[in-house]
Amino acid sequence: MVSIPLLLMGCGGVGRQLLHHVISCRPLHSQQGVRLRVVGVCDSKSMVAIPDVLTSEFRDDFLLQLCKIKSNGSSLLDLDNIGECEVYSGEEIGRKVIDVAAALRDSSGLALVDCSASSETIGLLSQVVNLEGCVVLANKKPLTSSLENYDKLVSQPRRIRHESTVGAGLPVISTINRMLSSGDPIIRIIGSLSGTLGYVMSEVESGRPFSQVVSAAKTLGFTEPDPRDDLSGMDVARKALILARLLGHRLELDSIKVESLYPLEMGPGKMSLEDFLAKGLPSLDEDIQKRIKNASSNGNVLHYVCLIEESRCEVGLQEVAKDSALGRLKGSDNVLEIYSRCYSKQPLVIQGAGAGNDTTAAGVLADILDVQDLFRHSTSGA
């Protein structure tokens, strides 16, 4: 039996779903000879940890109660039987995480799982890798920080997994890593990596005005509370940067060419959300309609894509061939076309749901199982 001590950062939808998956997969993982042992959980303010991280773990009923409390928006400190575990807050959290990783270094190592949306976890993640632990990320921020930080984080490539940072659980990162390790050079990646923008563009393509589609998508909960967070393209840019760096491009986030679907003067600092929805958005309809017509007259469709090719790394509206996998995309699916030596005429295509807590958490869990061989040598004591 391989025992993987797991410390989770982030109790949002993905983190909680991950705990549910871990619990419901216990019989399956037991069959596979793996035991996931949750030894600590943090939210943005507090951390609870089991006192003896070497041999003990949280009980499943405690984890379920934790999920319940967090989904109600309460603090970890509101847990009933918190007396059983140690509680940390503020700067103590980071110190404790490192203590746990150091304590586990000589036995099994720690799996630190980042399901937060924080840009401040990167130091901890790098330190855990240095302490021979593994890190698994759904959080894009650490991978899209400065190159200097990035290099530290990926200094031991076998000890980091981050499938769910691009396309949720879709096998994007794992596939690219497979291609790279087999010496199949990737020439071009083009894809639609935002379910929201994919949905918006395919609805606009079918004739509805941009402003109506965005407003309706907001009402349906398909966009962020302020849809400009989607329309800015910055989330797609982070995904593009993660892919580009994986391919070896030495890029920073601000060196990516990003097309925002609204002009600067309608930005969150300059225009209220109400004004943007009521006046800003409708003023954009005509231009987008024109570009769609233009694409159509070229036999193409207009999609919001991420494109990585040679030294180019761009995010924005592009015309794509109608009969390509990308051109045929409808709805909120993500799609990625990868061209390489092996896939030169026709690309390797990966398509499917690229968002959702269930799928994202499943991707994180698959990553955790994927690093199990690095924990194997520690089984003698289990």
Question: 183 labelled as ligand-binding?
Answer: no
Give the torsion sign (CA, 230, 231, 234, 239).
Answer: positive
Instruction: Give yes or no for residue 32 binding a copy of itself (CB under 8 A).
Output: yes
Give the torsion sign (CA, 186, 192, 194, 197).
Answer: positive
Q: What is the DSSP string of 17-55?
A: HHHHHHHHTHHHHHHTTEEEEEEEEE-SSEEEE-S-TTT
The only residue of 121, 165, 196, 372 in contact with a copy of itself, by rule CB under 8 A: 372
The only residue of 171, 209, 267, 282 in contact with a copy of itself, by rule CB under 8 A: 171
Question: 115 labelled as ligand-binding?
Answer: no
Question: 86 labelled as ligand-binding?
Answer: no
Instruction: Give yes or no for residue 87 binding a copy of itself (CB under 8 A).
Output: no
Instruction: Give yes or no for residue 359 binding a copy of itself (CB under 8 A).
Output: yes
Residues whose CB falls within 8 Å of the CB of residue 293, separated by 6 or more in sequence, listed in order: none
Q: CA-to-CA distance for 159 and 109, rounded, in angstroms?
A: 11
Distance of closest approach, residue 121 Cβ to a copy of itself, in angstroms: 22
The only residue of 175, 260, 296, 378 in contact with a copy of itself, by rule CB under 8 A: 175
Catalytic residues: 239
Q: Which stretch binds a copy of itself (CB under 8 A): 7-15, 280-288, 289-297, 343-351?
A: 343-351
Q: Are 163 and 169 in contact (CB under 8 A)?
A: yes
Distance of closest approach, residue 79 Cβ to a copy of itself, in angstroms: 25
Q: CA-to-CA distance for 145 and 267, rounded, in angstroms?
A: 23
Nearest to 186 by CA among 364, 13, 348, 21: 348
Instruction: Give yes or no for residue 233 binding a copy of itself (CB under 8 A).
Output: no
Q: CA-to-CA distance for 260 and 315, rounded, in angstroms?
A: 9
Instruction: Give yes or no for residue 259 binding a copy of itself (CB under 8 A).
Output: no
Q: How far is CA 347 from CA 295, 304, 327, 380, in A?
A: 22, 19, 13, 45
Distance of closest approach, residue 32 Cβ to a copy of itself, in angstroms: 7
Is residue 205 packed enough to be buried (19+ CB in 10 Å), middle (13-18) or exposed (0-12)? middle
Instruction: Give yes or no for residue 141 binding a copy of itself (CB under 8 A).
Output: no
Mark the binding-site residues, compressed into ranges.
Answer: 10-15, 140, 224
Mark the binding-site residues for L-homoserine, compressed into ranges.
Answer: 224
Mark the binding-site residues for NADPH, compressed into ranges.
Answer: 140
Binding site for a copy of itself (CB under 8 A): 21, 24-25, 28-29, 32, 157-158, 163, 169-171, 174-175, 178-179, 181-184, 325, 328, 331, 333, 341-343, 346-353, 356, 358-359, 362-363, 365-366, 369-374, 376-377
